[in-house]
Amino acid sequence: MRDVYLIGIGQTKISKNLGVRGRYMAAEAIEKAIEHAGIDRKQIGMLITGNMTGGILANQTQLGALIADAAGLRGIEAMNCESACGSSAAAARLGVMAVGGGYHDVALVCGIERMTHVPNEAMTAALATAADWELDSMNTVSFISLNARLMRRYMDTYGVTAEDFGHFAIVAHDNGLTNPNAFLHKKIDMETYLNSRMLADPVKLLDAPPVCDGAAAILLATEEVARAAHRSGLPMIKVAASAIGTDSPGLDARREMLELDAVTISTRNALEQAGLKNEDIDIFEPHDAYTIITALSLEAAGFAEKGKGVHFGKNGEITRTGKLPICTFGGLKSRGHPVGATGAYQLAETYMQLTGTAGENQVPDPEFALVQNIGGTGTTVVSHILQRCA
């Protein structure tokens, strides 16, 4: 395997009901990434898009070729990758393999999702396809209800209350305030969190992410290309690890409902690839779609003991100046969760942190970041470790 570097990023502002078709949102993000990297588009050998619902909500598949055409890359090797909410991180995994394996010197990854142009019922049904249709979704189970099951089980098992989850949402919203691409710029406190509307007991509105649209793109390249494109004064960003772990889509089929085994597998493999331990990680970008998933991810990834993840961060450990900053640009809760595009946003934001270009959201002097994107309720978990290099 050749070393792989992240050399360019592009993001659109996360939005709702703009009326802009997905291909044009994707093309905007791609153009920004190419301009940011400072390379000729002819150097790009491959495009992998990450999308979950296009075939259902937009009646459009073939997104790889469609977006390549819209972005002025007609004829390029292109494909779409679907892994539910983890689609664009899985696409990035394919990009790492393509560059690292010697198939291409530059690979373009673009996450795109458009969900707000359809009624809520259609959107909810589309998202439910990420669960086990036979065991869960056909019985009118939604992702809100699945996360409510997890949260209730956790509360009953460990004797915690709804208030114990609030700090995750509060920190995410604080960080989103200064992210220009975030969907929600709304500061909240514990009272606001506790009084937010109940969606499915015990999951409240501020436990869940907003429905939104967005596109983000990243460029992956060999060290030779990365050095040629390197901007003076900025560090280079290496993809030190890339790994996927999986589990059953059905909660009842899992070894243990409150242990996200795919997070454990994916994290362990990524740390081993990078030659690191948990204590070496300076930033953790979890898939905080629901506050219960944040708590369970902290435990499964090895940052908190079983049953203690919900308490992690109550003393400021997860703020941008804390021991383990998380959701540094607002996470899924405040930045927004355009499902198939979320992983690309996470990687773009982490690139900014490691290059010291995160502005008001900057974490002090990070070197290693673990970026984790989840498809379903812990079914497909994609972990990347990014490293700041000289």
The string of pLDDT tens digits covering residues 307-344 is 999 999 999 999 999 999 999 999 999 999 999 999 99
CATH 3.40.47.10 boundaries in the chain: 4-119+211-229, 132-210+239-389
Q: Is 339 in a helix, a strand, or coil?
A: helix
Catalytic one among 85, 110, 212, 327? 85
**CATH number of this structure's domain 4-119+211-229:** 3.40.47.10
CB distance 333 to 176 below 8 Å: yes
From the candidates 104, 167, 173, 337, give the one annotated as an active-site residue: 337
- 231 with 34: CB under 8 angstroms? no
Helix axes of 342-354 and 87-100: crossing angle, nearest 10 degrees = 60
Cis preceding-peptide flag for 202 (omega within 30 of 0): yes
Three-point CA angle 119, 122, 128, nearest 5°: 140
C-alpha–C-alpha distance, residues 111 and 49, integer Å: 6
Tell me the backbone φ, ψ of residue 273, rounded to 5 degrees. Answer: -60, -40
327: annotated active-site residue: no
Mean pLDDT of the chain: 96
Active-site residue, 104 included: no
DSSP letter assigned to residue 33? H
What string of pLDDT tens digits covers the 390 residues of the chain? 899 999 999 999 999 988 899 999 999 999 999 999 999 999 999 999 999 999 999 999 999 999 999 999 999 999 999 999 999 999 999 999 999 999 999 999 999 999 999 999 999 999 999 988 787 755 667 889 999 999 999 999 999 999 999 999 999 999 999 999 999 999 999 999 999 999 999 999 999 999 999 999 999 999 999 999 988 889 999 999 999 999 999 999 999 999 999 999 999 999 999 999 999 999 999 999 999 999 999 999 999 999 999 999 999 999 999 999 999 999 999 999 999 999 999 999 999 999 999 999 999 999 999 999 999 999 999 999 999 998
Structure tokens at 385: 């470790």
Q: What is the pLDDT of residue 36?
A: 97
What DSSP character marks residue 210?
Answer: P
CB 215 within 8 A of CB 29: yes
Note the pLDDT tens digit of each residue in 90-129. Answer: 999 999 999 999 999 999 999 999 999 999 999 999 999 9
pLDDT on residue 138: 57
- Over pLDDT 90: what percentage of the chain? 94
What confidence score (pLDDT) does residue 26 get? 98
Domain spanning 132-210+239-389 has what CATH number? 3.40.47.10
The pLDDT of residue 141 is 75
What's the confidence (pLDDT) of residue 139? 62
